Every structure is written in C-alpha cells, then in structure tokens.
Amino acid sequence: MSVGREGNWKPLQGRHAETRDLAGFLREVVRQYRRSTRSLEGPMLHSKSTIAVRLSGEERPDWEFVEKLIRVCAGRDAHAAGELLKLARSKWEAADPSRARLLTPAEQDAPGADSTLEEVRALLRELVEDRRRSGTPASANGPASSNDTGEGEPIGQEDDAAGTGNHPGTAPARPGPGFLHGPAPGRADPFVDRGDLVAAIARRFARHPVQVVHGPLGVGKTQVALRYVHRFRLEYGLIAWVPAARPAQVRSSLAALAPHLGLEPPDPTRMESAYQAVLNALAEASHEERWLLVLDDAGRPELIQHLVPHDGGGDVLVTSRDAAWRTAVAGTSSTTLGSFTREQSVAFLTERLRAGHAAADVHRLAERLGDHPLALQQAASMLGGPSLKIPDYLRSLSEGACRALSQGDPGTYPMPMGTEWELSAARLGERCPDAMVLLRHCASLESAAVSIAHLRAAAGVGHAPLAELLADPLRLDAAVEELGRAGLAFVDDTDRTMHLHTLIRALVRDDSANPAG
C-alpha cells in the first residue's frame, strides 16, 4: 500500500469545522496504519458502528477515545504515538464546541478539505524515513511506506463489502500475494516476541503441514499466529483467518472462501456442499498457489478435525487451549505456550507503566500475577493513571481475585481474565462436574503441582463427591483430561503431574469462598 490510499468512509458530517478536521485527522491515522473498524473493535472496546459514529465529525469524541485510538494504531512505536498525540491534542482542543467555528450550510454539504490528510501523510512519511534511517524495522501495523505491499487487510472500511475492492453482490477478484480473508484481530501492541518461536513454526511447516499452538487462556496464542501471518504473508497466495470455537464457524468461514478460489459464491441453503468444494479446491492447489488457514481458538478437535485440510499446497496453523489438538490430525507438530519469563514480564510492565513505580513493586506485581500475559496487560492498563499504586492493586487482588481480574483493558483479548474464568468454569461444570470438583480440591492444596498418583493414593479423603472421584481411577483420569483440555491446568504426561497457574488457584479459591447465589 502506498501512502495516501483512500479508505471507504462515509462523508464527514457535522456543523463545526474543527470537529470535522479532527475526525478527518483520525480517519487518516486509521487509514495510514492499515486498520479497519473491525480490527479496532477489540482493542478499542467499541463496536464498529460506535467507532464510525465517533469519527463521523458530528461531535467531538472524548480525549480518552482519541488517545487510545492513536496508541492502538501506532502500537509499540512510542515516538510515532507521541508525535501524533501532540497533533491530535491541538486539534481536539480546537474542536471544543464552545469555540469551534460553525460551518455555513454550503460548507456543510461540501467535501472536507484535504489539508488535514496531507498534514498526517507528511508526518507519517517523516516517521517512516526516521525509522528507515535508524534501521528500526516497521511494525506489522506501522505506517505504510511507498514500497509497502500492504497486509491484505481493508483499511478504514465502514462495512465488510467496502474492503473487498468490488461492488456489493459481485464476486471478488482472485487474491494476490498476502491477501488476508477473515476477521483477524489487529496485532496487539503488548505482544512480546518469545525468542524465535515464529521462525521455528515456519521451519516446522517444511515437514509438518499442520502446526498447533496450544496453552491456557490469555497467554498469547492468537498473537503468535498473527505474528506468523504478518511476517510470512507474502509466501502465500491466500491466507484465511477462521474463528474455530464451533464447527458452524469453521464451515461458514470455509464456504466464504469459495469466490477467492474461483468457485461459485456459497448458497446459504447448501452450505455443506459449499465448504466441501472449498476443501477439495484447497487439496488440489498447486505449490504455486500456496495457502494458509489459521484456525483460531479452535474448539474440541473431535468436532472440527474433519474440517481441517491437510493435503495440497498449503499450511494449517491452529491455536487452541485444548491439548488434544497435538495428536488430532496427521502430520501435526505442536508448541506449548505458557506465561512470560520474569524478565519479559518486568520489561512488559516497565514499558507500559508511568514513571514513579518502584522497581521492587514491579517485580512483586509480576510475581503475584504469575507472569500471565493477559493479567499483566489488564494490570498495566489500570496502573497507567496517576492515582492507583501497585500496592493498592495487589491489595485488591488479595481481597477478591475475580473482581480484580475482571477489571482493566484486556487489549485485543475478547474479555478480561476474571470474566473468561467465570465462563470457562460454567462450561466445564456443565460438561464435566467431576473436573470442577477436582479443580477446587487441587486449588486448596499448598503446592501448585499435584501428582496424579498422590491423588489416587488419597482415595477416601474429603467430602463424598471428592472421595468418590478419587476412588475411581477412570473418573479421575477423565477429570484430569478435561481440566487440561479446558486450558485450566497443564498436565505433564512425562511424570503425570498437573500444574495450576497461581491465578487459576486464586480465582478458584475466590469462587469457592464466594459461591454464586
């Protein structure tokens, strides 16, 4: 994408010149960072329609929205964010309704001037040149340079049809290199590159066409997949991002690929034949038509694995909490993803927290959160202001883990950790009550590592449901397996030990002490 490519926004509205100017500026930032309103939904915690309304020019958005939008777009480029925020602040203050100039009716109907667009484009060109001179690589969502090939992600779009490059109702053209189809979230700025994991996945694809990244909730599995897509997108003719929690999602996402593979657009009344035709086309693709499917947040493999193409000229990257994916599909290689290292956690927090937090407190915070990426992100968002101190946050965590971990900005993750825990526990309790009984028992023990052999030796201990469970080896093994598949425990098959993360233990204990109802 070259600098200055136009998006598909509706015309600016509103009666005040400065308010329109601010909206035009923010739209151009979104365009130049190759973001769509859909990709902004998660990190902004607003729907596409809300974002579009706030960028319509009708009213001045609050400063918190403006600041967050720029920081989300700029990502980890603190210099770019700072320069853009300076310009944004001056425009935001000028758009004060009590001082902004009223447009005449003729001016309101006229298209907005492009002075703001040129101003932003010039600034971003300068940032690109500064980065090139310093040898700093561009981030995946960094401002576009004149020789940038783009991400394949539609920019500044108001709806899905607008970003296809076709009129609504017509089949899109066959994609070019790096085309990305599907609702991939924008890469989160708090991503920490863990060694050479992404490069290792690329190397393993040479021998194993299916790669699985599995681990508990909120540790960054989706971000690893996104990093792979952004780094290696030009090696594929087609990249499809497939939400895969339920079979119906996978089927509909596969069927939607039909026009991009030269097939007839899917008929909603014949969805099975449509996605089956796509699977056949992918299996028959030549090496020159290499494709990549990302099955994100994949559910239980026994329900989805028949929808995974593992023949033809393509690769499949699966992210899932369910460790059963490691052996579900032939030709699979897997990676287990856990929490950050302590060094990564401290660096993560130090980069995001304002000055004034003691280094010892930062280390204490990382330790109490067990280096958990999602929890660190939420804590950093709450501690970024001027009032809340780390000791205060740690005190609230001690007083109620679920309440504390249900607050704060989760970044691109769909929901805070506390909320996700409640949903996961409810689903697990319905599917396997024994697993919840076992989880509560293990969380009450002193050690985070629990030997399954010791659990069996403790048969007859505790209240009736627990005693009966521990006395039945088959029920116990099934409960252990369910905890691993739900991403609430890590089961080490080498020594048959079950490990609970410190925050899972805290959440379970909090839930047990304060049961619903």
Helices 63-74 + 37-44 axis angle, to 10: 110
Decide: pTM greater than 0.75.
no
Using the CB atoms, write b or e for 137-166: b if 16+ within 10 Å: eebbbbbbbeeeebbbbbbbbbeebbbbee
On whether the CB atoms of residues 339 and 219 are closer than 8 A, the answer is: yes
CA distance 162 to 117: 20
Which helix (H) or strand (E) segment holds residue 165: the answer is none
Per-residue model confidence (pLDDT) at position 211 = 93
Q: How far is CA 320 from CA 47, 193, 218, 426, in A?
A: 25, 19, 11, 19
pLDDT band of residue 93 (cuts 50, 70, 90) is: confident
Helices 359-368 + 373-383 axis angle, to 10: 140
Helices 78-94 + 17-32 axis angle, to 10: 160
CA distance 321 to 511: 22
Nearest by Cα to 41 from 56, 51, 30: 51
Average pLDDT over residues 353-372: 91
Q: What's the CA dihedral at 98, 100, 101, 103 to 10 degrees?
A: -100
On whether the CB atoms of residues 13 and 83 are closer than 8 A, the answer is: no
Average pLDDT over residues 262-283: 84
DSSP E strands, 93-201:
180-181
pLDDT tops 60 at residue 81: yes
Neighbours of 291 (CB within 10 A): 23
pLDDT band of residue 38 (cuts 50, 70, 90) is: confident
Amino acid letter at 109? D
Nearest by Cα to 329 from 310, 314, 315, 311: 310
Average pLDDT over residues 98-112: 58
Using the CB atoms, write b or e for 475-503: b if 16+ within 10 Å: bbebbbbbbbbbbbbbeeeeeebbbbbbb
Give percent of the chain above pLDDT 90.
25
Identity of the highest mean pLDDT range in 79-88, 284-293, 311-320, 452-461: 311-320
Please state, rounded to an integer, the average pLDDT across all residues of the chain.
79
Residue with tokens 């996978």: 250
DSSP result, 424-475: HHHHHHHH-HHHHHHHHHHHHSS-SEEEHHHHHHTTT-SSHHHHHHHT-HHH
List pLDDT tens digits, range 437-447.
999 999 999 88
DSSP result, 54-84: HTSSSSPPPHHHHHHHHHHHHTT-HHHHHHH
List pLDDT tens digits, range 136-166.
444 444 554 433 333 333 322 333 322 333 3
Amino acid letter at 212? V
pLDDT band of residue 509 (cuts 50, 70, 90) is: very high
Identity of the highest mean pLDDT range in 100-104, 111-115, 144-148, 364-368: 364-368
Average pLDDT over residues 338-367: 89
On whether the CB atoms of residues 475 and 434 are closer than 8 A, the answer is: yes
List pLDDT tens digits, range 214-257.
999 999 898 899 888 888 888 888 889 998 988 988 988 898 88
List pLDDT tens digits, range 285-309.
755 568 999 999 999 999 988 888 8
Neighbours of 288 (CB within 10 A): 7
Average pLDDT over residues 497-516: 85
Nearest by Cα to 116 from 208, 9, 213: 9
Which helix (H) or strand (E) segment holds residue 291: the answer is strand 291-296
List pLDDT tens digits, range 9-29.
677 776 778 888 888 889 888
CA distance 10 to 27: 11
